[in-house]
Amino acid sequence: MEWELSKGVLESMSECPKCGGDDIAMILWGTPKFSSELKDKVKQKKIILGGCEVSRNNPELECNDCGFRFSK
């Protein structure tokens, strides 16, 4: 899985629909290739690893403030 393809989602997102916070992480589903860049993003809470169960309805984003998960 090429997570780089989803970078645009993170860059174009605005804010949490629930609390209005702008500290949003992208949820990465499946088993991504673990690069050092990806590890950094996870550490910075820019990316959250959602697990290997991939379905069409998985949310794309998670708010770091309130934990609310949503899709754009």
Q: Which chain residues interact with Zn ion by CB under 5 A? A: 16, 18-19, 21, 63, 65-66, 68
Query: CB of residue 15 vs Zn ion: minimum separation in angstroms?
Result: 8
CA angle 6, 10, 13 (to 5 degrees): 125
List, as one string, the DSSP characters of 21-49: ---EEEEEES-----HHHHHHHHTTSEEE
Displacement of CA 50 from its chain's centroid (Å): 8
Residue nearer to Zn ion on the CB measure, 38 or 58: 58
